[in-house]
């Protein structure tokens, strides 16, 4: 239950994060203005950051605790175990979660803190805003970053494709006719988030956004 | 028909087990899986060897004792049946078949393919009683129950407690079993009065017995011989949430204006 609630909180974040990033397509003014708008509210920004970090920490803690308990529940493995229904995504939640953790750590060091590739950290655009747009464009002209971020999106897609529908079930929602809709709803949200993010990465890499 | 069987042999709960290969030379396609094993045991006895221990009773899919993981799937390749309802014609001649016991911490192996499933009974016990008046049998239809409610309760009640759901689950969770039992009783008026207490007690008992937790992968539903739906798991989660609110002691309104206060 806690895992589902913290997970859904993070889902809300990744959805809005993706929507915010899409402003890249409206040009430097929109994206840099948006970034400045967020940074202009330091109290709200730090409240959101602390909230997100504690949610993530709680999610990871609960996930680890659960995974360990579940592993203990079957001390001797089957010689042959064939799955009939369980999706790959559902069986690899801990792995895709770990991959996400590594990716999020890298992403924060890279684009938020500017520890990786510090050259762009404090550059200003002609309007005097911090040049987030330039930083993103610079990052994704580098094929190494593109591969890394695409891999991160793969992990995110895998994790979300099971996580959202699973949380709906964990929270006890079900309905004879709506169930199919609820089950489809998870992977679709996951896919939208991933496609939005991938569009940004590829648009820069292919030179559509410069 | 002819088969090569890899069967898990283990002398006792604390012994090490391993797969041993046996040949089953003259099997007729109309034999059930358990009859085929009977044949293997006859030959073993004839050779003065220890027969393979496996659990069985009704041999008609209603008792839930036959419990074999066949080629990696509890109750074998067909859906909606128990091991005793599986026929050898389902396999191709000359096939090799691997037979293992249910594997879960909560189901210790007693011998070979027999596991101790009494953890499920203890969960049921933890659920406790339902309110039924003593005395003469009640007339039929004194308590009217809607058709859809009756059908839902009946679907849940068809769980035979075989434990295949646990065996199939990556986390060895007994969630589908508990969901079936909780939903069955919470759907009927007779089970309503203890509904909040029951769901908490049964879920606690499930944890205590060392079962894992539900990851909503729905592998249980895919192997359940009675096709118990995972909708009941959502219902169980819903019941549990409801119990949390009821037991929190917050003041509540009676469910109907005419309900007696409790
Ligand atoms: C953007 C970040 C993340 C989001 C949006 C997210 C979302 C979710 C959601 C909604 C669930 C479903 C809970 C349920 O089934 O009840 C879940 C489960 C899980 N998450 Fe995450 N998560 C994220 C990051 C992580 C990370 C970094 C880890 C690393 C350890 C992780 C590990 C897990 C595990 C192990 C599960 C349980 C899977 C199971 O029940 O089998 N997640 N996640
Ligand atoms: S829910 Fe199905 S698989 Fe699980 S114990 Fe009941 S009948 Fe067996
Ligand atoms: S022996 Fe009773 S269900 Fe198979």
Verify whether ligand 1 is closer than 6 Å to residue B216 (CB atom).
yes
Contact at 8 Å (CB) between B7 and B52? yes
How close, in Å, is residue A86 to chain B by CA atoms? Answer: 5
Closest CA to A96 of A51, A159, A157: A159
Contact at 8 Å (CB) between B104 and B166? yes
Helix residue spans in chain A (DSSP H):
2-21, 28-39, 42-72, 88-91, 93-107, 132-140, 143-170, 179-205
Model pTM score? 0.90
Contact at 8 Å (CB) between B223 and B166? no
How close, in Å, is residue A165 to chain B by CA atoms? Answer: 9
Which ligand 2 atom is nearest residue B174's CA?
Answer: 4
φ and ψ at residue B73, rounded to 5 degrees = -125, 125
φ and ψ at residue B57, rounded to 5 degrees = -150, -75
Please indicate whether, in this complex, the C-beta atoms of A173 and B69 are within 8 angstroms of each other.
no
Query: Within 13 A of A192's CA, how many CA atoms are on the CB side?
Result: 14
> In a mutagenesis test of the A interface, which of B70, B211, B213 is the best target, namely the one with the most A β-carbons within 10 Å?
B213
Residue nearest to atom 1 of ligand 3 (CA): B59
In order of start, what are the domains of chain A with their CATH numbers? 2-205 (1.20.1300)
Per the structure block, which two tokens stand in for A50? 């602390």
Closest CA to B236 of B172, B173, B164, B186: B186
- With CA atoms as reference, the chain A residue closest to B6 would be A79
Verify whether ligand 2 is closer than 6 Å to residue B176 (CB atom).
yes
Across the interface, which of B71, B98, B105 has its CB nearest the CB of A74?
B105
Please indicate whether, in this complex, the C-beta atoms of A84 and B100 are within 8 angstroms of each other.
no
Contact at 8 Å (CB) between A20 and A119? no
Sign of CA dihedral A48, A49, A50, A52: positive
Across the interface, which of B168, B217, B221 has its CB nearest the CB of A90?
B217
In order of start, what are the domains of chain B with their CATH numbers? 3-111 (3.10.20.30), 118-245 (1.10.1060.10)
Helices (H) and strands (E) in chain A, counts: 8, 0
Q: How close are the terminal C-alpha atoms of chain B, in Å?
A: 65
DSSP3 helix / strand / coil % (chain A, rounded to 5): 75, 0, 25
Length of chain A: 210
Q: How far is it, in rounded angstroms, from Cα B4 to Cα B178?
A: 37
- Can you give the pLDDT of all 210 residues of chain A as single tens digits? 779 999 999 999 999 999 999 999 999 999 999 999 998 898 999 999 999 999 999 999 999 999 999 999 999 999 999 999 899 999 999 999 999 999 999 999 998 888 887 777 677 888 788 889 999 999 999 999 999 999 999 999 999 999 999 999 999 888 877 888 888 888 999 999 999 999 999 999 998 887
Residue B182's pLDDT is what?
97
Per the structure block, which two tokens stand in for B14? 């604390």
How close, in Å, is residue B49 to chain A by CA atoms? Answer: 24
Q: What is the DSSP letter of B114?
A: E
Chain B contact for A162, CB < 8 A? yes
- Can you give the pLDDT of all 262 residues of chain B as single tens digits? 999 999 999 999 999 999 999 999 989 999 999 999 999 999 999 999 999 999 999 999 999 999 999 999 999 999 999 999 999 999 999 999 999 999 999 999 999 999 999 999 999 999 999 988 788 888 888 889 999 999 999 999 999 999 999 999 999 999 999 999 999 999 999 899 999 999 999 999 999 999 999 999 999 999 999 999 999 999 999 999 999 988 887 776 656 555 544 4
Which ligand 3 atom is nearest residue B63's CA?
Answer: 2
Interface pTM, i.e. ipTM: 0.88
Residue nearest to atom 6 of ligand 2 (CA): B159
């Amino acid at each position: 239950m806690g895992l589902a609630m913290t997970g859904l909180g993070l889902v809300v974040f990744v959805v809005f994060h993706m929507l915010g990033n899409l402003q890249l397509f409206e040009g430097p003014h929109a994206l840099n203005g948006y970034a400045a708008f967020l940074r202009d509210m330091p109290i709200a920004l730090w409240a959101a950051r602390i909230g997100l970090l504690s949610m993530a920490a709680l999610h990871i803690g609960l996930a680890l605790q659960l995974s360990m308990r579940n592993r203990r529940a079957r001390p001797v493995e089957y010689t042959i175990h064939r799955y009939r229904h369980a999706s790959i995504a559902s069986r690899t939640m801990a792995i895709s979660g770990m991959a996400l953790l590594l990716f999020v750590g890298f992403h924060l060091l890279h684009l938020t803190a500017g520890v990786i590739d510090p050259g762009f950290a404090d550059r200003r655009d002609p309007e005097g805003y911090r040049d987030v747009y330039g930083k993103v464009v610079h990052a994704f002209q580098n094929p190494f970053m593109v591969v890394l971020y695409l891999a991160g999106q793969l992990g995110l897609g895998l994790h979300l494709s099971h996580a959202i529908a699973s949380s709906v079930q964990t929270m006890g929602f079900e309905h004879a006719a709506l169930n199919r809709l609820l089950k489809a709803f998870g992977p679709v949200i996951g896919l939208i988030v991933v496609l939005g993010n991938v569009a940004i990465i590829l648009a820069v890499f292919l030179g559509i956004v410069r | 028909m002819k088969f090569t069987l890899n069967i898990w042999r283990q002398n006792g709960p604390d012994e090490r087990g391993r797969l041993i290969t046996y040949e089953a030379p003259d099997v007729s396609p109309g034999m059930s899986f358990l009859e085929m094993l009977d044949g293997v045991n006859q030959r073993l006895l004839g050779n003065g060897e220890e027969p393979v221990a496996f659990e069985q009773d009704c041999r008609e899919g209603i008792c839930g004792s036959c419990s074999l993981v066949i080629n990696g799937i509890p109750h074998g390749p067909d859906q909606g049946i128990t091991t005793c309802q599986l026929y050898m014609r389902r396999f191709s001649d000359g096939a090799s078949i691997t037979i293992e016991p249910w594997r879960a911490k909560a189901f210790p192996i007693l011998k070979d393919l027999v596991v101790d499933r009494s953890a499920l009974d203890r969960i049921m016990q933890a659920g406790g009683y339902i309110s039924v008046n003593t005395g003469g049998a009640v007339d039929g239809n004194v308590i009217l129950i809607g058709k859809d409610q009756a059908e839902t309760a009946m679907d849940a009640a068809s769980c035979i407690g075989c434990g295949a759901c646990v065996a199939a689950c990556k986390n060895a969770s007994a969630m589908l079993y508990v969901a079936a039992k909780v939903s069955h009783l919470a759907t009927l008026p007779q089970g309503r009065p203890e509904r909040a207490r029951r769901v908490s007690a049964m879920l606690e008992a499930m944890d205590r017995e060392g079962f894992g937790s539900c990851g909503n992968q729905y592998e249980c539903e895919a192997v359940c011989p009675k096709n118990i739906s995972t909708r009941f798991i959502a219902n169980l989660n819903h019941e549990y949430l409801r119990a949390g609110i009821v037991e929190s002691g917050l003041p509540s309104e009676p469910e109907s204006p005419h309900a007696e206060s409790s």
